[in-house]
A and B are shown apart, each in its own frame.
Chain A
Amino acid sequence: MTVQRDVGTFARSHANWHWSEIAFWALALGCAFLFPSRFLIMTDIVRLALFAMSLDLILGYAGIVSLGHAAFFGVGAYGAGLLALHGIITEPVLALVVAGLAATIVGFLTSFLVIRGVDLTRLMVTLGIALLLEALAERYSNITGGTDGLQGIEMAPVFGLFAFDMFGKTAFFYALAVLFVLFLAARRIVHSPFGLSLRAIKNNPLRAAAVGVPVNRRLIAIYTLASFYAGIAGALFTQTTQLASLDVFAFERSADLMLVLVIGGTGYLYGGLIGAVAFRMLQEFFSNITPQYWQFWIGLVLVVIVLVGRARLHRWALFVPNLIIRQFAGGKAVVAVPESDAS
């Protein structure tokens, strides 16, 4: 009995909002007023953050390593682009949801392939699905515009009220609002019994099955959900850049996403958001030094992160904040050190 109550209290105390989270979101909103000339890059960061959060749902919570998450991003991007281009659904929010649902359908169908097999098979199947979709998009270039991509996408005002302006102000607030709403949903989900059962599966699928967790059904559910999030991220990409081309499916996109999540840390939702900021700043920094070869330095960062060890790196990064928190709050450090990933 006591054990049960302890687990319950623990889970519930983790689900409570902490002041640092509120500060985080206040800061995110504050950025809009601090850097009024940087809306484009900030919108980019928000999109990337949403995409990374989607991967975090399956990687950090369910332990599925995916090399082809760009597949759903691409479906969402083309979905939103085609809806706007042909004037089927002009209202952006509605189009966003519809494009997200299109990605969800693809995610649901492919989830049956992904849950089979071990890590390596999953890697190959996810990668294969992304490449397959890329090949399809190239094949049906009369619909997708081929290598030129979809051009001439015009976005209607959000809710018919807020028109997209050329400085990207509307786009930024729109993207941030979408991110926040989806974050709230994800936060609710990962702290629910469903989310806890996912963690159980990640730590030990066999044991999870033994205590009565329907492993495969849960994995299908979270994979489908993550594909919805990725689809929304892709749709946001099209809507805010008014562009969708073949590279939305590219392998580099999936690989970069991994890096984002690795920088930020997996399994506590904020990893994707923090990682997106850090990644874009790194990218900006490196392309200022060597415009053409920034990929080299990104690769170096990846190699160093892995060699030093992700857990150790996050301990170092959080050392100072934790120290401060311990001084002021007195209690235990609140900034979560990400869990180690499933092997």
Chain B
Amino acid sequence: MTTILTILFDGIAYGMLLFVLACGLAVTLGLMNFVNLAHGAFAMAGGYVCAVLVNSQGWPFFAALPLAFVSSAAIGVLLERTLYRHLYTRSHLDQVLFTIGLVFMSVAAVDYIMGSSRIFIKLPAVLEGQLDVFGVGVGRYRLMIIVICGLLTLLLQLVLARTRFGSRLRAAVDDPRAASGLGINVPQVFAFTFAFGCGLAGLGGALSAEILGLDPYFPLKFMIYFLIVVTVGGSSSITGPFLASLLLGIGDVAGKYYVPKMGPFVIYTIMIVILIWRPNGLFGRTAAR
């Protein structure tokens, strides 16, 4: 019983992390219909910024986290304005090629600057060790992830559903032409959303260094996971990707525990089956355009 609870807990933490990493992609890929395979590169950028700040500059971990967000968002907005925006109307093949190119560049560049080995971020003492809750070992670090990511999810949902910006974004996605006809600055909304998604990925990257491991091949290794979250979750709401990442997280942790030899086999099989069964994702409403 306690093992099941531990797996559940670790799975939820893992899933939440995946959600924060991937929800930016849910917007670009799901809502703006842009196949961005380079999303992991933004996460990696955030992770490395955090690592440099904490390890060599001696910043406290919690102060470095917002900066990971800001720097990834800044890189995101820069690339969006200069490169990405020319490709929104291009074919999927062009988008795939372009973003694969970006991934290759980021991998080699980080390898060049930071070296190819895995790096760790020094954690404050508060986050180390475990708490004991009714006999279940609860990692402090994972608990923090659940808290932070849970709050972020709530915040996102509120912003999207309740604020003026949220309704502008939804309008711009539903029908860009009509939205710009109503006076919504569609490119600006997209740029802002893109930057915010990249920032979240950067934050996720910083948080995931401890759990997923951070090395230059991060964008390639986890690309498929981000894509699974978005395609399986569908893109009509934020809830779909959220549930999908929880499922993926719990499934992956449980799979590694109970059938360690099958490795990622289970995950890929489930993904293919779901995509064949419901090509628009488990929770998708509209047909993908």
Q: A117, B275: Cβ atoms under 8 Å? A: yes
Closest partner residue, chain B, to A304 (CB atom): B101
Interface residues of A in 103-133 (CB under 8 A from B): 113, 116-121, 123-125, 127-129, 131-132
Interface residues of A in 247-274 (CB under 8 A from B): 251-252, 255, 258-259, 262
Q: B275, A299: Cβ atoms under 8 Å? A: no
Q: B107, A295: Cβ atoms under 8 Å? A: yes
Q: How far is the CB of B14 from chain A (nearest CB, A)?
A: 19
Q: B231, A121: Cβ atoms under 8 Å? A: yes
Query: In the complex, what residues of A have CB within 8 A of residue B97's CB?
Result: 258-259, 262, 302, 305-306
Beta-carbon contacts of A179-202 to B below 8 Å, as 1s and 0s?
Answer: 000000000000000000000000
Query: In the complex, what residues of B have CB within 8 A of residue A288's CB?
Result: none
Interface residues of B in 215-270 (CB under 8 A from A): 220, 223-224, 227-228, 231, 261-265, 268-269
Q: A120, B35: Cβ atoms under 8 Å? A: yes
Beta-carbon contacts of A295-312 to B below 8 Å, as 1s and 0s?
Answer: 110111111011100100
Query: In the complex, what residues of B have CB within 8 A of residue A342's CB?
Result: 91, 93
Cβ of B191 within 8 Å of any chain A Cβ, yes or no, is no
Cβ of B92 within 8 Å of any chain A Cβ, yes or no, is yes
CA distance A119 to B279 in the complex (A): 10
Q: B288, A118: Cβ atoms under 8 Å? A: yes
Please give the residue numbers on chain B whose beta carbons come within 8 Å of chain A beta carbons, in ascending order.
Answer: 29, 35, 83, 86-87, 90-94, 96-98, 100-109, 111-112, 220, 223-224, 227-228, 231, 261-265, 268-269, 271-272, 275-276, 279, 287-288
Beta-carbon contacts of A312-342 to B below 8 Å, as 1s and 0s?
Answer: 0000000000000000000000000000111
Query: In the complex, what residues of A have CB within 8 A of residue B223's CB?
Result: 251
Contact of B104 among A67, A120, A123, A298 (CB under 8 A): A298
Q: How far is the CB of B2 from chain A (nearest CB, A)?
A: 29
Query: In the complex, what residues of B have CB within 8 A of residue A302's CB?
Result: 97-98, 100-101, 104
Closest partner residue, chain A, to B268 (CB atom): A132
Interface residues of A in 127-163 (CB under 8 A from B): 127-129, 131-132, 135-136, 138-139
Q: A258, B96: Cβ atoms under 8 Å? A: yes
The 8 A-B pairs at the shortest CB distance, nearest first, are namely: A302-B101, A299-B104, A296-B108, A117-B279, A343-B91, A299-B105, A303-B101, A306-B98
Query: In the complex, what residues of A have CB within 8 A of residue B91's CB?
Result: 340-343
A295-B108 in contact given A302-B101, A341-B93 (Cβ < 8 Å): yes
Closest partner residue, chain A, to B261 (CB atom): A139
Q: A124, B271: Cβ atoms under 8 Å? A: yes
Cβ of A293 within 8 Å of any chain B Cβ, yes or no, is yes
CA distance A67 to B224 in the complex (A): 11
Query: In the complex, what residues of A have CB within 8 A of residue B272's CB?
Result: 113, 125, 128-129, 132
Query: Could you pull out 23 A-B pairs where Cβ atoms are within 8 angstroms?
Result: A67-B96, A120-B29, A120-B35, A124-B227, A125-B272, A125-B275, A128-B271, A135-B264, A139-B261, A139-B265, A255-B100, A293-B111, A295-B104, A296-B108, A298-B104, A300-B101, A301-B101, A303-B102, A303-B105, A306-B87, A310-B94, A343-B90, A343-B91
Closest partner residue, chain A, to B89 (CB atom): A343
Query: In the complex, what residues of A have CB within 8 A of residue B92's CB?
Result: 65, 119-120, 123, 343
Query: In the complex, what residues of B have CB within 8 A of residue A136's CB?
Result: 265
Cβ of A2 within 8 Å of any chain B Cβ, yes or no, is no
Q: How far is the CB of A307 from chain B (nearest CB, A)?
A: 7
Q: How far is the CB of B104 from chain A (nearest CB, A)?
A: 3
Q: B111, A292: Cβ atoms under 8 Å? A: yes
Q: A135, B265: Cβ atoms under 8 Å? A: yes
A138-B98 in contact given A292-B111, A295-B107, A300-B105 (Cβ < 8 Å): no
Closest partner residue, chain A, to B289 (CB atom): A118
CA distance A154 to B103 in the complex (A): 38
A299-B262 in contact given A120-B29, A124-B227, A258-B96 (Cβ < 8 Å): no
